[in-house]
Chain A
């Protein structure tokens, strides 16, 4: 499972790397190829797409530490409310006298 997950994570991180595109541009410049402009456009597009992706990603408005604090608070809230409900539902305040 980990072996399958790891390549996927590596692929995801490689997808957001800009170095391959920069490398392609440098190669084209060395060869004096006409594809330089095309590669430059690709780099520009990739940077723009990265910006849009970052804007749409959920949960990154706070730092990881702040997010963990919020998560702990929410878990505590759920636990407290569950306990409260269990307490009230299981509470019997009246002793019903036996019918004589």
Chain B
């Protein structure tokens, strides 16, 4: 029982801060010194103090004073440790700041790398897609030449203002074609034609006969314009060799490049 109480007191004393213990001891010193002085003052008077009591008080006073001095030494030591702890806390703060800065840089690098990887993957997909749908460059060039050959992208070299030629089928050409003839049929009354219009009869005046590069030189006047259906095909049936020559001639013409922009 006595041992457990003693241990409890020690534990309680250990849990108390040094400050609390110092103040407690100082209070005891004050009380004991006052008591001692009062006892000595009384002993000079008529009343005599209890024998041995002043000795007991004196011993307690000396003991408390010694304890006070030891505690003051501990307090000074704790002050030095506290100073060291403050330095360590500053260092911890600095390390925290460095870690945060490094973390921020790593996050930024991760973002940049993730973006680069994503873009690279997209490019690889595009490359793969292009490879799957690859077309021979020869065919593309041929196709481009055929488009250019119809003077749809650039006027002919000898074109002057007043020339009826256009890069699109004109009204006359449309009427002289299959669609125009279909309009002449009795059952088809939707697309009528102008009365007295020579074009309705399928005849074109000589001057209005369009001259296309793909037309052969022996095309007579009045003949219907050629069917344009297969002109833009890569491998048209009955392909005219002259067209190829014109295409090749066109291909050499720098003015027929589609890069011209107005």
Contact A18 to B65, CB < 8 A, known contacts A43-B33, A74-B92: yes
Q: When the two chains form their complex, are residues B18 and A22 in contact, meaning their CB atoms are under 8 A apart? A: no
Cα separation A76 to B236 with both chains bound (whole Å): 85
How many residues of B are counted as interface, with CB atoms below 8 angstroms from the partner's CB atoms? 45
B37: A residues at CB distance < 8 A: 22, 25-26, 29, 40
Contacting B at CB under 8 A, from A60-100, are 60-68, 70-71, 74-75, 77-78, 81-82, 84-85, 88-89
A82: B residues at CB distance < 8 A: 95
Q: When the two chains form their complex, are residues A51 and B26 in contact, meaning their CB atoms are under 8 A apart? A: yes
Cα separation A75 to B88 with both chains bound (whole Å): 7
Contacting A at CB under 8 A, from B78-116, are 78-79, 81-85, 88-89, 91-92, 95-96, 98-99, 102, 106
B14: A residues at CB distance < 8 A: 63, 65
Contact among A13, A51, A66, A85 with B69 in the assembled complex (CB-CB below 8 Å):
A13
A65: B residues at CB distance < 8 A: 14
Cα separation A78 to B189 with both chains bound (whole Å): 98
Q: When the two chains form their complex, are residues A78 and B91 in contact, meaning their CB atoms are under 8 A apart? A: yes
CB distance from B195 to the nearest CB of A (A): 80
Q: When the two chains form their complex, are residues A22 and B76 in contact, meaning their CB atoms are under 8 A apart? A: no
* B120 in the interface (beta carbon within 8 A): no
Count of CB-CB pairs between chains A and B under 8 Å: 118
- Using an 8 Å CB-CB cutoff, how does the interface string of A2-34 with B read, 1 for contact, 0 for none? 000000010011101111001001100100000
B15: A residues at CB distance < 8 A: 63
Contacting A at CB under 8 A, from B11-35, are 14-19, 22-23, 26, 29-30, 33
Q: When the two chains form their complex, are residues B81 and A59 in contact, meaning their CB atoms are under 8 A apart? A: yes
Q: Which chain B residue shows the least CB distance to A75?
A: B88
Contact A57 to B19, CB < 8 A, known contacts A64-B78, A81-B99: yes
A54: B residues at CB distance < 8 A: 19, 22-23, 26, 75
B23: A residues at CB distance < 8 A: 51, 54
B98: A residues at CB distance < 8 A: 85
- Interface majority SS (helix, strand, loop, mixed), chain A: helix
Cα separation A13 to B44 with both chains bound (whole Å): 33
* B41 in the interface (beta carbon within 8 A): yes
Q: When the two chains form their complex, are residues A50 and B26 in contact, meaning their CB atoms are under 8 A apart? A: yes
User: Which residues of A are in contact with B by a Cβ distance under 8 Å?
Assistant: 9, 12-14, 16-19, 22, 25-26, 29, 40, 43, 47, 50-51, 54-55, 57-68, 70-71, 74-75, 77-78, 81-82, 84-85, 88-89
* B72 in the interface (beta carbon within 8 A): yes
B65: A residues at CB distance < 8 A: 17-19
A47: B residues at CB distance < 8 A: 26, 29-30
Q: When the two chains form their complex, are residues B72 and A16 in contact, meaning their CB atoms are under 8 A apart? A: yes
Contact A64 to B82, CB < 8 A, known contacts A17-B65, A18-B65: no
Cα separation A55 to B23 with both chains bound (whole Å): 9
Contact among A19, A71, A88 with B88 in the assembled complex (CB-CB below 8 Å):
A71
Q: When the two chains form their complex, are residues A64 and B33 in contact, meaning their CB atoms are under 8 A apart? A: no
* B214 in the interface (beta carbon within 8 A): no
Q: When the two chains form their complex, are residues B88 and A78 in contact, meaning their CB atoms are under 8 A apart? A: yes
Q: When the two chains form their complex, are residues A59 and B89 in contact, meaning their CB atoms are under 8 A apart? A: no
